Amino acid sequence: GAVVSQHPSWVICKSGTSVKIECRSLDFQATTMFWYRQFPKQSLMLMATSNEGSKATYEQGVEKDKFLINHASLTLSTLTVTSAHPEDSSFYICSARVSTYEQYFGPGTRLTVT
């Protein structure tokens, strides 16, 4: 089946630093990947849609200069949280679209900003 990996699975960083999270589709190519953020006991909130070879489409209220997304290949998308602050601490999940109606989620990255 379709497998999506994320790295790292968890990261702790200091306020003001930047963190990069990788999302890879391991056994298929994904022209479209999604980045979500999930706070405790809340649902998945879509941050942006990442399309290979083009600029990401950000959801309303998501700062594109703070959350940098790069989809450089058909199997890799990265999310960089720049100048992280404690309020950015969250569970970040990516998913890769296999078809119009199918997407597979990565295992998530737990970010803690101190």
What mask, x for binding another protein by CB under 8 A, covers residues 39 to 78?
A: --xxxxxx--x-----------------------------
- Measured between its terminal Cα atoms, the distance across the chain in Å is 37
The token pair that represents 94 in the structure block: 């990516």
Q: Does 108 bind another protein (CB under 8 A)?
A: yes
Q: Does 28 bind another protein (CB under 8 A)?
A: no
From start to end of 17-89, where are the E strands? 19-25, 32-38, 45-51, 57-58, 67-73, 76-81
Which residue, 76 or 82, has its beta carbon nearer to another protein? 76
Q: Does 110 bind another protein (CB under 8 A)?
A: yes
Please check whether residue 93 is in contact with residue 23, taking contact to mean a CB–CB distance below 8 angstroms.
no
Residues in contact with another protein by CB under 8 A are: 34, 41-46, 49, 91, 93, 95, 100-108, 110
